[in-house]
């Protein structure tokens, strides 16, 4: 059941990205081009997402656990470390250059667009490389805990 709910959630999220225009790199780049031909329409998409998300999080705060798991998985760290900052810089750079980020790129795979396929391949290669580099820098005992 949990896998079915996860699949339905992913499909709903992807459909929302497509309907909202977040999978169109030209539209995203237009939104990010504040000094040029700025397209504010994605601000409404993001604002609508916040209007749905914020009250939902408030409702969930009162629950002891989610419907399909034993506990909530919420971040506990509050500090900014170099990995978080570096990841944010890479994310923003990729988004600004390609007009895609991971969610919309995955939702866009069905188009078979060469640009999307290259983006997703590069994203997967980067994830693989990050895992390999992390494994190399981890002590042997910590690697088994993962």
| Per-residue pLDDT reduced to its tens digit, 73-119 | 888 888 999 988 998 998 899 888 888 989 899 988 988 999 999 99
Number of domains in the chain: 1
- Name which residue leads in pLDDT, 141 or 66: 66
Rounded to the nearest 10°, the torsion over CA 78, 91, 53, 70 is -60
| Per-residue pLDDT reduced to its tens digit, 25-34 | 989 999 988 8
pTM above the 0.85 mark? no
Average pLDDT on 2-13 reads 90
- Grade residue 54 by pLDDT with cuts at 50, 70 and 90: very high
HEC assignment per residue over 65-122: CCCCCCCCCCCCCCCCCHHHHHHHHHHHHHHHHHCCCHHHHHHCHHHCCHHHHHHHHH
How much is the pLDDT for 130?
87
- Grade residue 138 by pLDDT with cuts at 50, 70 and 90: confident
Backbone angles phi, psi at 40, to 5 degrees: -80, 0
d(CA 1, CA 96): 38
DSSP summary character for residue 138? S
How much is the pLDDT for 144?
52
d(CA 116, CA 92): 17
Contacts for 44 with CB less than 8 Å, ≥ 6 apart: none
- Grade residue 137 by pLDDT with cuts at 50, 70 and 90: confident
The whole-chain average pLDDT of the chain stands at: 87
Asked whether 60 and 131 are in contact (CB, 8 A), the reply is no
Q: Which domain holds residue 75?
A: 2-145
Backbone angles phi, psi at 63, to 5 degrees: -85, 145
User: Is the four-CA dihedral 40, 48, 99, 82 of positive or negative sign?
Assistant: positive
Average pLDDT on 57-68 reads 87
Task: Check pLDDT > 70 for residue 139.
Answer: no
HSE of 113, CA atoms in CB hemisphere, 13 A: 16
């Amino acid at each position: 059941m949990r896998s079915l709910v996860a699949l339905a959630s992913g499909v709903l999220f992807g459909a929302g990205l497509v309907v909202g225009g977040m999978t169109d790199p030209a539209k995203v780049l237009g939104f990010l081009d504040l000094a040029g031909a700025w397209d504010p329409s994605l601000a409404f998409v993001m604002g609508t997402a916040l209007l749905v998300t914020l009250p939902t999080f408030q409702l969930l705060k009162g629950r002891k656990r989610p419907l399909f798991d034993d506990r909530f998985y919420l971040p506990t760290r509050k500090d900014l470390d170099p990995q978080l900052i570096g990841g944010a810089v890479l994310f923003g750079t990729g988004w600004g250059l390609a007009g895609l980020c991971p969610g919309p790129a995955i939702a866009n795979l069905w188009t078979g667009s060469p640009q999307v396929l290259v983006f997703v391949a590069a994203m997967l290669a980067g994830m693989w490389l990050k895992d390999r580099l992390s494994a190399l820098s981890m002590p042997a005992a910590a690697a088994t805990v993962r």
